[in-house]
């Protein structure tokens, strides 16, 4: 009988893996400490068959990005993640430096691509329809964000110009949002309010995912 890890590996490998978007990569930010959740958000069950990280990876694989980069903290890096196939794992040894530092760690893997999706681990509700709507606007601005009722959401798409600037940044007191504010932006309206969800506490997890398990 196959183990849960083996079953998950087979499921991930069996996804449609044609590279539809060869000029595009994805970086998943999971390098934080998850203090409010008190456990790794990447490993939280999303459904009976997938955790948050597996769910997000499967969506981007189906979308067809050329590379998936996952930034994780040291503790998560040490766990058994071998069942997650065809991704690049990067260890963040300084999670206290925040998401900007995590994103910068991925920049060396990102700079060979014209476009990069930036995906937070705390929003596992991303879907290919949303990704396509962002990608279709990739040439119209330096970064593209989904907007639901005038509120910006996740993930967002950046071009190589932004990636190169992120790579040079050394002030980690800045937020990613502050850096992006210097670049041109396209807001893509969506009816999908899930783009606004961030799961950071046990209460939020129960609220949004109780009925899925």
Q: Are 55 and 124 in contact (CB under 8 A)?
A: yes
How is residue 132 annotated by DSSP?
H
**pLDDT tens-digit map of 72-123:** 988 888 775 655 667 899 999 998 888 999 999 999 999 999 999 999 999 9
CATH number (domain holding residue 114): 3.90.550.10
Nearest to 127 by CA among 213, 69, 195: 195
Q: For 170-196, what is the mean pLDDT? A: 95
Q: Using CA atoms, how far apart are residues 211 and 213, in angstroms rounded to an integer?
A: 6
**CA-to-CA separations, 1 to 4, 6, 7, 24, in angstroms, rounded:** 9, 9, 10, 37
Q: Using CA atoms, how far apart are residues 55 and 42, in angstroms rounded to an integer?
A: 10
Q: Are 154 and 197 in contact (CB under 8 A)?
A: no
Q: For 164-188, what is the mean pLDDT? A: 94
pLDDT at site 4: 45
The domain of 48 spans 4-212
Q: Is the pLDDT of residue 11 over 70?
A: no
Q: Using CA atoms, how far apart are residues 57 and 83, in angstroms rounded to an integer?
A: 12
pLDDT at site 8: 47
pTM of the model: 0.87
Q: For 127-155, what is the mean pLDDT? A: 97
Lowest-pLDDT choice from 36-45, 47-56, 159-168: 36-45
Q: Are 102 and 31 in contact (CB under 8 A)?
A: yes
pLDDT at site 14: 41
Residue ranges of alpha helices (H) inside the chain are 4-13, 52-63, 74-78, 99-110, 128-135, 160-168, 176-180, 202-209
Q: Residue 23, SS3?
A: strand
Does residue 96 or residue 159 have the better pLDDT?
Answer: 159
What is the pLDDT confidence band of residue 35, given thresholds at 50, 70 and 90?
Answer: low
Q: Which single residue is written with the structure tokens 């939020």?
A: 204
pLDDT at site 10: 42
pLDDT at site 32: 79
In this structure, what are the phi and psi dihedrals at residue 31, rounded to the nearest 5 degrees? Answer: -100, 5
The number of folded domains in the chain is: 1
Question: Tokens representing 1?
Answer: 């009988």
Mean per-residue pLDDT over the chain, rounded: 87
């Amino acid at each position: 009988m196959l183990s849960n890890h083996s079953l998950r590996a087979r499921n991930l490998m069996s996804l449609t893996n044609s590279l539809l978007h060869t000029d595009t990569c994805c970086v998943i930010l999971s390098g934080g400490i998850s203090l409010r959740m008190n456990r790794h958000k990447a490993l939280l069950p999303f459904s009976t068959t997938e955790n948050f990280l597996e769910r997000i990876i499967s969506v981007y694989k189906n979308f067809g990005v050329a590379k998936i980069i996952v930034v994780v903290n040291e503790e998560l890096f040490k766990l058994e993640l071998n069942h997650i196939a065809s991704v690049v794992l990067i260890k963040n040894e300084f999670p206290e430096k925040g998401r900007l530092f995590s994103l910068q760690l991925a920049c060396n893997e990102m700079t060979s691509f014209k476009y990069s999706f930036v995906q937070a681990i705390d929003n596992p509700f991303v879907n290919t329809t949303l990704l396509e709507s962002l990608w279709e606007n990739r040439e119209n601005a330096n970064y593209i964000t989904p907007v639901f009722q005038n509120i910006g959401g996740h993930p967002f798409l950046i071009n190589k110009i932004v990636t190169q600037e992120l790579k040079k940044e050394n002030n980690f007191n800045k937020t990613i949002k502050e850096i992006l504010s210097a670049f041109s932006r396209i807001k893509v309206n969506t009816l999908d309010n899930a783009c606004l969800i961030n799961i950071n506490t046990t209460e939020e997890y129960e609220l949004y995912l109780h009925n899925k398990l």
